[in-house]
């Protein structure tokens, strides 16, 4: 996207919410991560002097429980034609989706012509499992860069943002969906009530809507502050999901905790009254109450822990640079944009960041000037310290980079606290 065009879009499409986007209650802001660049709009070194910012300021609605960012950019900016995140680059997530797909397929195998829709289908990593079983399917994906990969695999894919209008249109053209699935995308959409209405319109009478999202309780408990960035407009609690979808006539009937992305919940919803609400829902909401997710002091304490990590991480990196060669980074994730800009970490402290996604290589982390290089560049170095930015993929990365540890390399981590391991 041309820089001038991006500048115009950002200026026109910043939205500041002072009241809850769902229930209209006043929001309770509790901290600011300062001005942040758009996380997934990666620039070349020549372009990097000009980046466009928003204030990363989270808040919570104590009335309905919905945790949200106050200032957001339009989805058309975030999920543009050059969107660089490809689900299939993680073998762990590909396997996670394979197992999830198998479970869902077992619940509809008895139907004569089942139909499954995925919202935010990305490069089709999940839908490939559905297509192999000759199940009628449709992926909804607005970002051309990843939708084109799915189309190249022969997967039925519609390039669009999901909404109530799109949901109704799909129903008219293809019939109702027996399963609607979404993986780590529902919290990306500011017009979340419109999405809920679209799900209700598209879902078959006895169908289910299931989605996964980063879990607010894990974010707060483990101080996972870098889960907060422009795409993550909402970070859900079970209570908030129940309240949100009830407004569109959908019951939350089951929740299951998943280890993916540093702690997620898999939610299952259905038309009201069609299925019994499971005890897992009641237990989760009660546990959230015990952990203080309904109290502002819980979020103020989270803010204090973030500030402590901010100070300590920069001090550790400064010390590591004094002891040895410059520190490297691993994982040019969207999360890395938050932590590096919030902690004021730039190319003076991190020489480069290794990442396996080809379209990211040769670019820089927004706002920092830190270049992104392929893992081969990481393996060619003999640096002692590496900041592990893709910490939620730690096990997969450590298996892939076992030689680094064998030659004495150390990982610097910062979630749930700063440590060298």
pLDDT at 340: 97
Strand 58-60, strand 67-69: pairing: antiparallel
pLDDT at 239: 98
Burial readout 260-284 (b: 16 or more C-beta within 10 A, e: otherwise):
bbbbbbbbbbbbeeeeeeeebbeeb
> How many whole angstroms separate alpha carbon 332 and alpha carbon 370?
10
Structural contact between residues 230 and 38, judged by C-beta atoms closer than 8 angstroms? yes
The helix (run of H) or strand (run of E) holding residue 371 is: none
pLDDT at 74: 66
Q: What is the DSSP string of 111-157?
A: SSS-EEEEES-TTSTTHHHHHTTT-EEEEE---HHHHHHHHHTT--E
Number of structural domains the chain divides into: 3
Q: Enter the pTM of the model.
A: 0.90
Looking at the structure, tell me whether residues 195 and 216 fall in a common domain. Answer: yes
> How many whole angstroms separate alpha carbon 237 and alpha carbon 263?
12
pLDDT at 18: 82
Q: What is the DSSP string of 187-228?
A: GG-S-HHHHHHHHHHHEEEEEEEEEEEEBHHHHHHTT-GGG-
Preceding peptide of 326 cis, ω within 30°: no
Looking at the structure, tell me whether residues 179 and 245 fall in a common domain. Answer: yes
The pair phi, psi for residue 22, each rounded to 5°, is: -110, -55
Q: Whats the size of the chain, residue-wise?
A: 421
Q: Looking at the domain assignment, is residue 79 inside a domain? A: no
Collapsing DSSP states into helix, strand and coil, what is residue 175?
coil
pLDDT at 43: 77
> How many whole angstroms separate alpha carbon 211 and alpha carbon 119?
9
Domain of 379: which CATH number? 3.40.50.720
Question: Which residues on neighbouring strands pair with residue 388, listed in sequence order?
Answer: 330
Looking at the structure, tell me whether residues 123 and 17 fall in a common domain. Answer: no
- Which stretches in the chain have pLDDT values below 50? 1-12
Looking at the structure, tell me whether residues 58 and 93 fall in a common domain. Answer: no
pLDDT at 42: 77
Looking at the structure, tell me whether residues 120 and 163 fall in a common domain. Answer: yes
Domain of 118: which CATH number? 3.40.50.150
Looking at the structure, tell me whether residues 308 and 374 fall in a common domain. Answer: yes
Q: Looking at the domain assignment, is residue 409 inside a domain? A: yes
Looking at the structure, tell me whether residues 93 and 149 fall in a common domain. Answer: yes
Q: Indicate the burial class of 106 (C-beta count within 10 angstroms; 0-12, 13-18, 19 or more).
A: exposed
CA torsion through residues 54, 55, 61, 66, sign: positive
Looking at the structure, tell me whether residues 104 and 233 fall in a common domain. Answer: yes
pLDDT at 17: 76
Q: Which of 326, 298, 177 is nearest to 237 (CA)?
A: 298
Q: Looking at the domain assignment, is residue 285 inside a domain? A: no
Residue where one domain finishes, among candidates 239, 272, 305: 272
Looking at the structure, tell me whether residues 243 and 386 fall in a common domain. Answer: no
Looking at the structure, tell me whether residues 254 and 337 fall in a common domain. Answer: no
Domain that holds residue 23: 3-74
């Amino acid at each position: 996207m041309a820089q001038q065009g991006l500048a115009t879009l950002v200026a026109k499409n910043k939205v500041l919410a002072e009241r809850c986007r769902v229930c209209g209650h006043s929001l309770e802001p509790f901290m600011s991560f300062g001005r942040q660049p758009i996380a997934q709009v990666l620039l070349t070194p020549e372009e990097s002097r000009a980046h466009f910012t928003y204030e990363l300021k989270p808040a919570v609605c104590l009335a309905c429980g919905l945790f949200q960012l106050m200032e957001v950019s339009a989805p058309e900016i975030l999920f543009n034609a050059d969107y660089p995140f490809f689900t299939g680059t993680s073998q762990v997530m590909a396997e996670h989706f394979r197992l999830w797909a198998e479970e869902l397929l077992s619940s509809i195998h008895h139907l004569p012509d089942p139909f499954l829709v995925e919202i935010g289908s990305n490069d089709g990593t999940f839908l490939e499992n559905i297509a192999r079983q000759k199940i009628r399917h449709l992926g909804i994906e607005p970002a051309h860069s990843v939708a084109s990969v799915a189309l190249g695999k022969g997967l039925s894919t519609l390039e669009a943002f999901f909404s109530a209008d799109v949901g109704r249109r799909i129903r008219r053209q293809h019939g109702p969906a027996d399963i609607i699935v979404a993986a780590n995308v529902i919290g990306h959409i500011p017009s979340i009530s419109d999405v809920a209405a679209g799900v209700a319109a598209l879902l078959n009478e006895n169908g289910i809507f299931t989605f996964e999202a980063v879990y607010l309780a894990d974010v707060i408990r483990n101080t996972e502050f870098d889960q907060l960035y422009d795409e993550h407009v909402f970070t859900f609690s079970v209570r908030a999901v129940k309240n949100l979808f009830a407004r569109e006539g959908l019951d939350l009937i089951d929740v299951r905790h998943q280890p993916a992305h540093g702690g997620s919940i898999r939610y299952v919803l259905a038309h009201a009254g069609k299925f019994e609400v499971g005890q897992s829902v009641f237990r989760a909401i009660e546990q959230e109450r015990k952990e203080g997710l309904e109290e502002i002091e819980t979020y103020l304490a989270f803010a204090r822990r973030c500030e402590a990590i901010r100070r300590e991480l920069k001090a550790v990196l400064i010390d590591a640079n004094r002891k040895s060669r410059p520190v490297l980074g691993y994982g040019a994730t969207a999360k890395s944009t938050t932590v590096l800009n919030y902690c004021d970490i730039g190319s003076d402290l991190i020489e480069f960041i290794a990442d396996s996604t080809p379209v990211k290589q040769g670019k820089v982390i927004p706002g920092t000037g830190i270049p992104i290089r392929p893992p081969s560049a990481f393996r060619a170095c003999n640096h002692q310290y590496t900041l592990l930015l893709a910490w939620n993929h730690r096990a997969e990365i450590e298996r892939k980079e076992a030689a680094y540890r064998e030659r004495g390399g150390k990982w610097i981590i910062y979630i749930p606290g700063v440590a060298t391991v």
